[in-house]
Structure 1
Amino acid sequence: MNRSDRVIKTTIIYFIGNFASKLLGFVLLPLYTAYLTSADYGTVDILMSTLPLIAPIFTMQVTESVFRFLMTDNNDEDRKKTITNSLGIFAAGVFIFVILYLPFLYKTNFKYGGLFLAYFIVTYMGIFLQQVLRGLQRTIEYAVTGVISTIVHATSNIFLIVKVGMGGEALLISSIAGSSVITIFMVFRTRIWNYIDVRRLSRIEISRQLKFGIPLIPNQIAWWVIGLLGKYILVYYHGVADNGVLAVANKFPNIIAIVNAIFLKAWTENVIQEYNSDDRDEYFSSGLTIFTVFTISVTAFLLPVIKIYNILTITGDFISAWKFVPLLLMGSSFNSLATFLGTIYTASMKTRQALTTTIIAAISNLILSLILIPVLSIWGVVISNMVSFIILYLVRIRSVNNIINLQVSFIAIIPSLILLVTSVYIYYTMNIYGQIFSIIIIGLATLYLNRSILFNLFNFITRIKITNK
C-alpha cells in the first residue's frame, strides 16, 4: 500500500470513529439552546473546559507518550514495557489528583464537584486506552469505540435533558456514561491485562516516557491559555451568560477542528513512519501545501452553511452568536495548520520545541486578552484567539525548518485565500438567498481547489474495487 492509500485508509477509519462523536455537540446545539439557559450552559462549559488544564499535570501526558512509543515498538515484550510503565505513571497521577481533590471538594462543596471528579477519571482512562489502540495500530477497534461513545452520549443527553428535565449536569453525566462504556469495551477487547507485567516496571523506561511527556505538560497548559483563558476573563468582566453565547459560537469553528483533527491523527502516524525516508522534506512540504489549501477553502465553504443554520435554528439568548463565527473559524484554521506542523515535533521527539512555540502564542494571547476583553467582551476573546493562532503558525513554520527543509507553495494557496475573503464578505452582507447561492459557487470552487485530494480518493476507491473483484 502506497503512502497516499495508507493515509486515506487510516483517515476514513478515524473519520467513521470520530466524526459523529466530535460533531455531537454541534448536532445537539438546538437541544442545549432550547432547554438550557445561557448561564447554566456557560457554567458547565467552563467546568469541562478546565479539564485540559488539570489533566496534563497529573497524567504527565502519558496518553501521548504511550502512543508514540508503541508506534515504534517491534515486539510484544517492548509493548508490555511501554504499556506497563505508562499505565503506572497514569495511575500514580490519578491517585495524587484524588488525594488532593477530595479535601478541596469537602471544604468547598461546589456545584457538580463529584461529577467533575468522575468525569476526569473516566474520560482520561478512556483516552489512555484509545491511545493504546492507536499505538497498536488497531484502528478499526479505535473507530468502534468512537461510534459506541457517540450512541451512549447522544441517547443519555436527550433522555436526561428532555425526559428527566436535568440542567447542565446532564452534559457531564452523558460524557461519563459514554467514556465508561468504551473503557469497559476496550479493557476486554484489548485484553489489556496481557500487556501489564509489574516486572517490566523500569526507572529507565519511566524516565524515557517522562522525558517525552513532561515538555508537553506546559505545552498543553499553554494551549489551554490560548483556547480557554479568554473564557475566564470574559466571565470575570461580563458574566457567564456572555460565555454561553461564546460557547455556542465556538461550536461552529469546531467543525473545522473536527475534520482536521481526524485527518491529523492519520497524518501523525504517517509522519512517524515516513520520518526517515529519503524524500521526507519534499513529501512533508507537499502535504502542508495541500492541507493548507484544503483548510482555507473548506472554511470558506462552511461560512454560508453556518449562516443559514444560525438563521434557522439558533434562538433566544444565543441569537447573537452568528457575528463571531468568521473570525473564530479563521482562528481554528490557523490552529489546525499549526497542529499539522506540530506532528513533526512528535515524529522527531523534539517536544521541547512544541513547548517553546506554544508558549510564545500563549503569552501573545494573554496580553491581548487582558487588553481587549474588558473593553470588547466576546469580540476581545475572538480577536485574541485568532491573532495568537496566526502567531503560533508563523513561529512554527520557522521552528520546523530547523528540523526539516519545509517549503510551502504560497502561489498554490492564494486562490483559496481569495475565496475565503469573498465568503466572509457574503456572510456579513447577504440574506439567506444569497447564502444559498454562495454555497453552490463556493462549493464548486472548493472542489476544484482540492481536486488532487479527490483524485487520490478516486484512485483509492478504484483500486479497492479492482482488488475485491
Structure 2
Amino acid sequence: MSNAIGDKLLKNTLIYSIGSFGSKILSFLLLPLFSLYLTTVEMGQYDLILTFVLLVTPLITLQLSDAIYRWLIATDKASSAEQVITTALSLFLVATIITFIVVGIVVYFEPQPYVLETMLFLFFSALFFILQQVLRGLGLTQKFALIGILYSLLLLLFSLVFLWVCNNKLQAVLLAMIVANIVVNIIILWRWKIYHYLSGKYIDKKLIIPMLSYSLPLVPNAVSWWLMTMANKYIIFQQLNTAANGIYAVSSRLPSILMIVFSLFLLAWQDVILKDDKADYREVTTNTFSQLSKFMFSIGLIFISISEPLIHYLFSSQFYEAWQYMPILVLATIFTSFCAFLGTAYQQKKNTVKILTTTIIGAIVNIMMSYFLIEYIGLFAAALGTLFSFIVVFIIRQQDVKSFYPVVLTVKSFWLPFILSLVYCYLVSLNQKYIDWSLFVIALIISLLLNQQLLGKILQKLKGRIL
C-alpha cells in the first residue's frame, strides 16, 4: 500500500471513528433501554416497523444518497454541487409523494397500527440520510460525524422524555425517533446552510438519467437484503411466534457492533477508492483486505467468546436465549463486511447492476435455508441461512472482481482466523463459563498479535496529532 493512500485511509478512518463511533454506540445502547420498557411482543413489533422502514427507504430515496455522494466526491465545482444536490432532492420529493399515496391507499383498505408514526419516521430519516451523504460529498467530514453524535444524543433525550410521559411505550419510541430526525435535518439545512445549494434553477435534466442509472440498480439490491431479512422474520413468525422475532432481533443487534466498526473504515475507504475511477488500486486493495480480514476476525473472536455474558448482563431474562444464535451471526456480520468491501469495486466502476445480481443470489440462498430448516433447528435456521448467504455472495464477488480488485485469501489473514472462529462457535455452544473466559483471553492475545502493525500505526498517528 502506498504511503500516501495508506496515511489518507488511516486519517479518514480516525476522523470518522472519533465522530461516528460515539454516536453509533449511543444508538446501540438504546436497545437495552427499550428492552426494559417493551415486552417481547412489542419488541417484535418495533423490529418489524424498522424492517418496513428499511424496505421503503430505498424506494422513497431511489438510493440517490449513493449517487449524490458518488457525484459530489468527484467534482470540485460549486455549480456542479448545486445541480447534483437540487436534482437529487427533487427526485426524492417526487418519489416521496408517490410512496405516501400508495401507502395511503393500502392502509385505507387494510388499516394498520402506528401508520402515521411509521411514515413520518420514514420520511425524516430518509431525508436525514440523504443530507448526511451531501455533507460527505462536500468534504464536510467533521460535520458528518458531529451530526451523527447530535442525533444519538437527541434520540436518547427524547426517548427518555417520551417513555416517561407516554403510556404507550412503543409509540413513545417512535415519537422520539421522529422528533430527533426533524431536529438534525433543521440543523443541516439551516444552521449549516445547505439550503444555499437548493433552487429550482439548479435542476439539471441531463443529470437525471446518469444518476438514476447508477442509483436504481441499488434499489432492488437494498430491497433484496430487506426481503432476505423480512423473509427470515416472516418465517420465524409463521413457524414460531412474534416473541421469537424479538429474541432473534436481540441476537442480531449485538453482532451489528462489528458492522458499526467496519462502516467507519468503509466510509474512509470510499473516500479513497471512489475519488478516481481510472486509478489502479490493485495493490492497495490486496493489502487493505488482508489487514481488514485479520482485524474483523480477531474482533469477532472476542465477541463470540463473550456472547452469553453480553446477553445475560445487557438484556432482561426474557431475551436470554438470544446468546445461542449470536456466534453464528457474528460470523455472518464479518462476511457482510467483506461483501460490502468488494461492493466498492462495482461502485468505482459505476457497475451497480453486479451488486444487484450477486445480492439476489445471496437472498435466495438465505430464504431457502431458513424455510426448509426452521422446522428442525428453530432460530438456528435463520442464523445459518444468513451466514451461508453472505459467504456465497463473498465468493462470487471475489472471483468476479479479481482482475481489477484482487482479494487474496491467505492462510494467515483469512483461512486460519476463519477456521478458528468456527472452533470458537462450537466451544462457546457448550456454555461453560471457564471455557468462555479462557477463549476471551486467548482472543485478546490473538487480536493483539494479528493487529500489532495496525495498532502501531494508529498510536503513531494519534501521538502525532496530539503532539
TM-score by length of 1: 0.94
User: Is 1:174 equivalent to 2:158 in the alignment?
Assistant: no
* Alignment partner of 2:219 out of 217, 220, 228: 217
Question: Are 1:42 and 1:247, in contact at CA under 8 Å, matched by a contact in 2?
Answer: yes
The letter for the 1-side match of 2:270 is T
Distance in 2 (CA, whole Å) between partners of 1:76 and 1:211 is 23
Q: How does 1:116-155 map to 2 (within 5 A)?
A: 116-155=118-157
Q: Following TM superposition, where does structure 1 have runs of at least 4 consecutive aligned residues deviating by more than 4 angstroms?
A: none
Moved more, 115-124 or 164-173: 164-173
The answer to whether the 8 Å contact 2:64/2:88 transfers is yes
| 1:372-404 Cα shifts (integer Å, max 9, x gaps) | 234433122111111101101111101222543
Q: CA offset at residue 321 of structure 1? A: 0.7
In structure 2, what is the equivalent of residue 432 of structure 1? 433
Is 2:8 the counterpart of 1:6?
yes
Tell me what 1:200 maps to.
202
Deviation of the 1:52 alpha carbon: 1.9
Consecutive unaligned residues in structure 2, runs of 5 or more: none
Structure 1 distance, partners of 2:198, 2:32, is: 44
The 1:33/1:452 distance shift into structure 2, 3 A limit, reads same
The letter for the 1-side match of 2:51 is S
Contact 1:286 1:408 in 2 (8 A): no
AA of the residue aligned to 1:180: I
Q: Deviations over 1:218-241 (max 9, x none)?
A: 111111123332112211222211
Residue identity matched to 2:58:
P
Tell me which of 25, 34, 37 is aligned to 1:35: 37
* Partner residue in 1 for 2:325: 324
- Offset from partner CA, 1:90-140 (integer Å, 9 cap, x none): 111111112222233344331111101101110001001001001001000
Per-residue Cα deviation, 1:179-236 (whole angstroms, up to 9, x for no partner): 1111111002431222123223232211111010111111111111233321122112
Q: Which amino acid aligns with 2:272?
A: N
Q: Say whether the 8 Å CA contact 1:81–1:200 is kept in structure 2.
A: yes
What residue identity is the alignment partner of 2:349?
Answer: S
Per-residue deviation at 1:153? 0.8
Residues 126 and 182, structure 1, Cα contact 8 Å, conserved in 2: yes
If the length of structure 2 is used for normalisation, what is the TM-score?
0.94
Counterpart residue identity of residue 145, structure 2: A
Q: Relative to 1, partners in 2 of residues 1:243 and 1:25: Cα closer, same or farther, differing over 3 Å?
A: farther
Q: Is the 8 A contact 2:308 2:324 kept in 1?
A: no
1:233 aligns with 235
Whether the 8 Å contact between 1:33 and 1:316 is mirrored in structure 2 is: no
Matches within 5 A, 1:66-465: 66-162=68-164, 164-273=166-275, 275-278=277-280, 280-429=281-430, 431-465=432-466
Output the amino acid matched with 1:111.
P
- RMSD across aligned C-alpha pairs, in angstroms? 2.0
Q: Is the 8 A contact 1:250 1:328 kept in 2?
A: yes
Contact 1:68/1:135 (8 A) holds in 2: yes
Greater shift after overlay, 171-180 or 43-52? 171-180
Secondary structure, counterpart of 1:276 in structure 2: coil
1:463, 1:313 → 2: CA distance? 37
Report the secondary structure of 1:72's partner residue: coil
Identity across the alignment (%): 26
